[in-house]
Amino acid sequence: MVLGCQNITKAYGTTEILNEVNFHIETKEKIAIVGINGAGKSTLLKIIANEEEPDSGAINLAKDITIGYLAQHQEQFYKQTIYEELLSAKKDVIKLEETLRQLENDIETLTGDELESALNLYARLNHTFEMQDGYAFESQIMGVLKGLGFNEDDINRPISELSGGQKTRISLGRLLLSRPDIILLDEPTNHLDLSSTLWLENYLKNYDGAVIIVSHDRYFLDKIVTKVYEIENTHGTMYHGNYSYYSKKREEVRLSNYKAYMNQQAYIKHQEDVIAKLKQFNREKSIKRAESREKMLDKIEQLEKPQEVRDDMKLSLVPDIESGNDVLLIEGLTKSYSATPLFENISMDIKRGERVALIGNNGTGKTTILKIINQLTSKDSGKIILGSQVHIGYYDQEHQILHPEKTIFDELHDAYPDMTNTKVRNILAAFLFTGDEVFKQINELSGGERGRVSLAKLMLAGANFLILDEPTNHLDITSKEILENALTGYTGTVLYVSHDRYFINRTATRVLELSSDGITSFLGNYDDYLYEKEKLAINNSTINETKELKETENKRDWKLAKEEQAKERKRQNDIRKTESKIEVLENEIESLNEEMNLPENATNSAKLNELAQKHEELTKELETLYEEWETLSE
């Protein structure tokens, strides 16, 4: 074990974030920490990195273990160039190299014992230098630089000139080059394009230290981690496997717990109904049976209702009208900035009902294409033709369509003035804005909150052609899943730009790859795109066998369902017949009781014996019917 979290507890004021969190990590293990926004993932990383103190509990490290931490938000102020900053990660190796060069100079003038001592020291230090890849550190720096999306022309750029995302990439590069025993990464792919994310995946998979990752990039986690630690309601649970395994297992566990709870509730309700019916029969035997069942019910240890996933954001995308079959045609689209071409002669054709993902490296012009379609940016040349009855709904990753000076309430009310105040509040509540939160200004909101406001406006638009620019940015995993489900059930057309490969896998029916060569179309989702890119043959026989097997299973399931329905109809019919017989017998027994109490029969022993015998027979028959009714009711 290189690191262990022991009973870590943390609260801010009266709000508890972590409660007795426990897990450990071994050498070379790769672990993901997941949970909804605000669950405490970043807080836990900061505690492990010793940037925050837990209220109780301890972080246990093995001897001489080093930790490197990349925060989600960078606050450093750099004065160096890109290359100088990355080079600083190798300062120990550089210092060692300087010592070796000095020894080489000294050896030329030394003799005797001093020479032998210097040669021995040189051999030891040179071995250390080799073990630390001293002869390769410059090529390692260039490899990391290129892997993170920079080129050789960038090495002398001052870091002060870079964007926030570029600075974060430099911080990541410096961390990787320092090669700590444990790497802590908080949302490392937020500022990476697809090629840089793929590079980082391969780097971390082959990294010989331990890695702990907080990320909403589910595809990224799938490729790297072997364990997933979920923080939910302040507590943690470890799942062994990658993200997809965790996702499946989590749902199985939750479904199992929920089914057990619902089955018990159904059983309790059924017993209460049976007890009520037995008491309604109002016979001594039936009342005793009811009391027996009540005692049995009191002994049951009732299960608590499982905590449900936070799925209370309600997103329903419904087009007001249906568009024509031809939704968008682009021919020969070209755009340049300062005489430098961004893209040239781009063409695409999108039909009704398609969900098209536009992918490509940063800087290829994906967002610009979306802005040109929405007439937010001008084109240099080319044609853009929208089809008949096409109504666009646009989601901007920078949320420039929102008005910073407006409140959340006014943002919706001004866009849809016919809506009542109550309707606006109800819509905002569906997107988790309640109470006085609706009067917060847009410029005060986090990225995730702005995303939810934009999604609310998108839902109200009733558009039949959605154009989305990085719609999953700043959304937690649960919100991403809600958006995915809304899109897969949407009957209109979708064109979106996204780096979220898991999202693309769940939603895309076609992938368009934008590169310097233009646009290439691939049918299917992201995995299908990779499959085609690698030129792997599709095994038609396997697909057909799977389809035939599925059809056979569907027929069998349908037949079983019909048989079960028939059995249930018969059971309900038998219950009704039994209840009718019980009612008839109870009436007959009541008549016999009245007849036995008549004065003329009181002195007629033969008549009384006859009536008593019949009373006993009917009572036994009634007892049997009670038993039959209880059996049928189970």
Of 40-54, 284-298, 482-496, the least confident: 284-298
pLDDT for residue 20 = 92
pLDDT for residue 391 = 94
Kindly provide the b/e burial profile for residues 92-108, where b requires at least 16 CB atoms within 10 angstroms of the residue's own CB. Answer: ebeebbeebeebeeeee
pLDDT for residue 56 = 94
Of 86-90, 308-312, 456-460, 615-619, the least confident: 308-312
73: pLDDT confidence band, cut at 50, 70 and 90?
low
CA atoms within 13 A on the CB side of 458: 30
Which of 127-136, 147-156, 235-244: highest mean pLDDT?
Answer: 235-244
287: pLDDT confidence band, cut at 50, 70 and 90?
confident
Question: For 461-481, what is the mean pLDDT?
Answer: 86
Alpha-carbon distance of 499 to 496, in angstroms, equals 10
pLDDT for residue 312 = 59
Report pLDDT digits (tens) over 521-544: 999 999 999 888 886 445 545 555
Q: Helix, strand, or coil here: 121?
A: helix
Alpha-carbon distance of 143 to 133, in angstroms, equals 14
Read off the tokens for 540. 């038609």
pLDDT for residue 444 = 87
Q: What dihedral angle (degrees, nearest 10) is formed by the CA atoms of 292, 294, 299, 303?
A: 140
Mean pLDDT for the chain? 86
**DSSP per-residue codes, 3-18:** EEEEEEEEEETTEEEE
Cβ neighbours around 217 below 10 Å, total: 26
619: pLDDT confidence band, cut at 50, 70 and 90?
confident
229: pLDDT confidence band, cut at 50, 70 and 90?
very high
Share of the chain above pLDDT 90, in %: 35
pLDDT at 167 exceeding the cut of 90:
no
pLDDT for residue 540 = 47
> Whose CA is closest to 20, among 10, 34, 7?
7
Question: For 564-593, what is the mean pLDDT?
Answer: 84
Residues 6+ apart with CB under 8 A from 491: 318, 319, 322, 353
Of 43-52, 315-324, 469-478, the least confident: 469-478
Of 344-358, 377-391, 433-447, the least confident: 433-447
Which of 25-34, 120-129, 361-370: highest mean pLDDT?
Answer: 25-34
Report pLDDT digits (tens) over 328-360: 999 999 999 887 889 999 999 999 999 999 998
Cβ neighbours around 495 below 10 Å, total: 24
pLDDT for residue 221 = 93
pLDDT at 310 exceeding the cut of 70:
no
pLDDT for residue 123 = 87
**Helices of type H across 110-152:** 112-131, 137-147
Kindly provide the b/e burial profile for residues 56-78, where b requires at least 16 CB atoms within 10 angstroms of the residue's own CB. Answer: ebebebeeeeebbbbbeebeeeb
Alpha-carbon distance of 47 to 61, in angstroms, equals 13
Question: For 493-510, what is the mean pLDDT?
Answer: 94
Alpha-carbon distance of 25 to 183, in angstroms, equals 12
pLDDT for residue 555 = 66
Of 78-87, 328-337, 366-375, the least confident: 78-87
The answer to whether the beta carbons of residues 334 and 355 sit under 8 Å apart is no
Residues recorded for the chain: 634
Read off the tokens for 435. 């109470």
Residues 6+ apart with CB under 8 A from 38: none
546: pLDDT confidence band, cut at 50, 70 and 90?
low
